[in-house]
């Protein structure tokens, strides 16, 4: 153990005991109320909640958690932030088997932008996919904790997947990893007929990879898709009475293909993306970091 908390080996070894996991859960269950903030449980209260008879054994495991996961204060015990992260991972099912949740393929109400066949969704191991089974064009491939999907209708599942995808990619395109909060680097690559996923056959002339510089988390996407998260694009949709944040990306051809993307330069990269909406067109210029350097709205005369 270091002055800053547990080392990695100690932190993982603590989770091998059921009593310690239950302590984390009970403290977490007592923390979830927004009315009380972060409550403190007395030793007696915590022991009572766990229904443990052996005081010596209970005290031994509680002491093991102090310092990194649990804080002891005059008013009682509470979870520290690493303990809260662990609690949320436990109740979200992030650390347990996902095999008991099965979601068969169902239509998302959109035709494939590549071949015109219906696009469907399903759960593949731990990834929720929105894709075309006729031509293998993949429009969404995102991890969603199973607790966010259990008991929901197909429409509610799609809304959850849309929100999850938007949350993750909004953070990554803004330069921050949604998993570890470190910096994200962007790399632009020529499509050349292949994409990072073997389950995606979209014909992209160019695409972007956003990769965390610390935890290796990454996503790839058409360069035009970064505009989903830009305020100027949202304002353009808002001016037309539409909320862009509520529209799943698989419904937007310009966001999941490069049909409206023009490559202006390759060294360094620069692009023009045109987004048609009603009788107008939003035009954005992007540089080699996919930063938006200029935008304009104009009447679409095509």
Q: What is the CATH number of the domain that holds 65?
A: 1.10.10.10
- Return the pLDDT at 1: 43
Where residue 192 falls (left for φ over 0; alpha for ψ -120 to 50; beta otherwise) is left
- Return the pLDDT at 196: 87
Residue 178 located in a structural domain? no
Domain of residue 264 covers: 225-299
- Return the pLDDT at 186: 96
- Return the pLDDT at 247: 98
Query: How far is it, in rounded angstroms, from Cα 295 to Cα 283?
Result: 6
Query: How far is it, in rounded angstroms, from Cα 283 to Cα 261?
Result: 10
- How many structural domains does the chain have? 2
Where residue 289 falls (left for φ over 0; alpha for ψ -120 to 50; beta otherwise) is alpha
- Return the pLDDT at 3: 44
- Return the pLDDT at 127: 87
- Return the pLDDT at 300: 60
- Return the pLDDT at 2: 43
Question: Which residue shows structure tokens 């987004």?
Answer: 275
Residue 284 located in a structural domain? yes
Residue 79 located in a structural domain? yes
Domain boundary among 92, 124, 156: 92
- Return the pLDDT at 33: 61
Contacts of 32 (CB under 8 A, 6+ apart): none
Contact yes or no for 281/299 (Cβ under 8 A):
yes
Mean pLDDT by 10 residues, the chain (302 residues): 58 78 88 65 89 86 89 89 84 63 90 96 88 94 87 95 96 94 94 81 93 91 97 97 97 96 96 96 97 88 50
Query: How far is it, in rounded angstroms, from Cα 149 to Cα 160?
Result: 7
Question: How wide is the angle at C-alpha 77 spanned by C-alphas 29 and 22, nearest 5°?
Answer: 45
Contacts of 95 (CB under 8 A, 6+ apart): 89
Domain boundary among 68, 92, 116: 92
The pLDDT tens digits for 153-207 are 999 999 999 999 999 999 999 999 998 899 999 999 998 768 888 789 999 999 9
């Amino acid at each position: 153990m270091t002055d800053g908390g547990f080392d990695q080996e100690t932190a993982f070894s603590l989770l091998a005991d059921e009593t310690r996991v239950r302590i984390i859960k009970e403290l977490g269950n007592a923390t979830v109320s927004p009315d009380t903030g972060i409550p403190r449980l007395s030793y007696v209260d915590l022991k009572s909640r766990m229904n443990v008879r052996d005081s010596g054994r209970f005290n031994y495991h509680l002491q093991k958690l102090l310092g990194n996961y649990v804080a002891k204060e005059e008013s009682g015990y509470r979870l520290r932030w690493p303990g809260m992260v662990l609690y949320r991972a436990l109740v979200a099912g992030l650390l347990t088997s996902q095999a008991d949740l099965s979601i068969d393929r169902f239509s998302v109400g959109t035709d494939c932008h590549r071949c015109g066949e219906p696009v469907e969704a399903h759960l593949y191991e731990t990834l929720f996919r929105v894709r075309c089974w006729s031509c293998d064009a993949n429009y969404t491939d995102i991890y969603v904790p199973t607790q966010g999907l259990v008991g929901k209708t197909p429409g509610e599942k799609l809304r959850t997947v849309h929100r999850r995808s938007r949350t993750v990619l909004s953070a990554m395109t803004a330069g921050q990893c949604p998993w570890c909060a470190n910096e994200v680097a962007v790399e632009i690559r020529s499509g050349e007929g292949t994409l990072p996923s073997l389950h995606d056959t979209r014909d992209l002339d160019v695409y972007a990879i956003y990769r965390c510089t610390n935890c290796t988390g990454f996503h790839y996407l058409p360069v035009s898709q970064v505009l989903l998260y830009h305020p100027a694009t949202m304002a353009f949709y808002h001016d037309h009475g539409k909320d862009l944040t509520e529209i799943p990306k698989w419904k937007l051809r310009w966001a999941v293909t490069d049909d409206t993307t023009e490559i202006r330069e390759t060294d360094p990269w620069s692009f023009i993306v045109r987004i048609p909406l009603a009788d107008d067109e939003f035009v954005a210029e992007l540089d080699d970091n996919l930063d938006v350097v200029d935008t304009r709205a104009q009447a679409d005369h095509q």
